[in-house]
């Protein structure tokens, strides 16, 4: 707050002060006995005006210090949510301080409760996911034990449904761990071809059920990533491609390397995404026209999680699509720089002893 802004806010009070001083001087001047000499009257008026100006400057400095406390908190953003205001000098300011500090205390109390509830919920989800995996594994073993003893078609359908259950269980687990990602990742160099192959092998039942072909183009290609999280990202993308590709279609993984980045393009020959919806496919909960189709249930979390985790790993996703022709999702792996040297490794320089 500048001094001129302070004066502008108090211009009415200054006008009344000047009018009061003028009326006082006018009253003394009307005295027929003229007990006060005009020069003395002017001198007294100047002294009173000077004293008023000093008081005004003093009040400005105190008010500016008071206002700056709010400005510093506004500039600090979230960091200021724990900054309480000190005691004030005026009763009106004390009321503001009391209200402000009360809001901060209530906010901190509510925030602590929400964090505790979130931690309890996350702990429950983690426990539930690990508990549910036991019967899932037992059911898978039971299905395998029936191979050759029961009709093949029901067994294949059971295997497919078990894969879907496991997929959604993993999705819940990774969603619950999204905020704690920084505690559970390890960047290393990996052969991207092997990771893609392993993800496709895990989805073999879905490929067989959907009568889909898979092609891998390019490679080998080494990238810096976290294998576990990248496998989850690719699983979300490939599962989406399988879901929206008609029988007889093809899903293609194309690897490429440029001076600035490595890319993995996952393309399908599916139904595609309308142009007006493509900018929202990575939004949380967005299902779009295809997701609301009666034959294809969608949670709207798959591509959202893939995009969020990619960003946390230092990668990013882009998407292009044409209706009735297919969709392509590109995973970008920017080459890392180390001490000004570009490359896609994390190899540290040799330190001479």
**227-266 per-position pLDDT tens digit:** 888 998 999 899 888 888 888 899 999 999 888 889 999 9
pLDDT over 90 at 330, yes or no = yes
Is 120 exposed, middle or buried, given 0-12, 13-18 or 19+ CB atoms closer than 10 A? exposed
Residue 339 backbone zone (phi > 0: left; psi -120 to 50: alpha; other: beta) = left
Percent of the chain's residues with pLDDT above 90 = 12
Tokens of 284: 């949380």
Q: Mean of the pLDDT values across residues 312-331?
A: 89
- Exposure string of 295-328, with b = 16+ CB inside 10 Å and e = fewer, is eeebebbbbbbbbbbbeebebebebebeeeebbb
Lowest-pLDDT choice from 33-37, 40-44, 206-210: 33-37
CA dist., res. 265 & res. 231, Å (int) = 15
pLDDT given for residue 347 in this prediction: 45
> What pLDDT does 296 receive?
60
pLDDT given at position 340: 46
- Joined together, the tokens standing for residue 222 give 């080494």
Q: What is the mean pLDDT of the chain?
A: 81
pLDDT of residue 295: 56
Q: What is the mean pLDDT of residues 322-347?
A: 71
Q: Is pLDDT at 216 greater than 70 in this prediction?
A: yes
Question: pTM value?
Answer: 0.63
Contact in structure between 202 and 235 (CB atoms under 8 Å): yes
Please answer whether residues 239 and 206 qualify as being in contact, where contact means their C-beta atoms are separated by less than 8 angstroms.
yes
CA distance to 252, 267, 308, per residue, from 225 (Å): 21, 21, 14
Which of the four pLDDT bands, split at 50, 70 and 90, describes residue 129? confident
Asked if 135 and 197 count as a contact pair (C-beta separation under 8 A), the reply is no
Q: What is the mean pLDDT of residues 307-325?
A: 89
* 185 secondary structure, DSSP code: -
pLDDT at position 14 is: 84
């Amino acid at each position: 707050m500048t001094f001129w802004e302070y004066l502008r806010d108090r211009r009415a009070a200054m006008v009344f002060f000047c009018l009061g001083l003028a009326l006082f001087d006018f009253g003394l001047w009307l005295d027929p006995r003229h007990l006060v000499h005009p020069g003395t009257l002017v001198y007294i008026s100047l002294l009173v005006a000077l004293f008023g100006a000093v008081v005004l400057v003093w009040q400005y400095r105190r008010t500016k210090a008071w206002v700056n406390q709010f400005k510093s908190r506004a500039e600090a953003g979230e960091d200021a949510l724990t900054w309480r205001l000190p005691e004030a000098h005026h009763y009106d300011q004390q009321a503001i301080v009391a209200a402000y500090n009360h809001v901060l205390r209530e906010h901190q109390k509510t925030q602590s409760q929400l964090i505790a509830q979130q931690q309890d919920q996350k702990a429950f989800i983690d426990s539930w996911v690990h508990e549910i995996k036991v019967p899932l594994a037992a059911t898978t073993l039971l299905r395998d034990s029936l191979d050759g003893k029961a009709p093949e078609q029901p067994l294949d359908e059971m295997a497919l449904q078990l894969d879907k259950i496991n997929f959604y269980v993993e999705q819940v687990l990774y969603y619950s761990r999204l905020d704690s990602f920084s505690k559970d990742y390890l960047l290393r160099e990996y052969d991207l071809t092997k990771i893609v192959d392993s993800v496709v092998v895990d989805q073999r039942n879905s490929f067989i059920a959907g009568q889909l072909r898979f092609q891998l183009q390019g490679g080998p290609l080494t990238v810096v990533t976290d294998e576990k999280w990248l496998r989850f990202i690719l699983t979300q993308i490939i599962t989406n491609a399988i879901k929206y590709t008609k029988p007889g279609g093809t899903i293609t993984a194309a690897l490429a390397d440029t001076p600035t980045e490595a890319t993995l393009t996952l393309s399908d020959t599916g139904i595609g995404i309308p142009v007006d919806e493509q900018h929202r496919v990575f939004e949380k909960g967005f299902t779009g026209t295809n997701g609301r189709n009666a034959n294809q249930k969608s949670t709207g979390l798959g591509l959202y999680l893939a995009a969020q985790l990619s960003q946390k790993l230092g990668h990013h996703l882009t998407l292009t699509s044409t209706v009735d022709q297919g969709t392509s999702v590109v995973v970008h792996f920017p080459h890392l720089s180390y001490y000004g040297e570009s490359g896609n490794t994390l190899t540290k320089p040799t330190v001479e002893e």
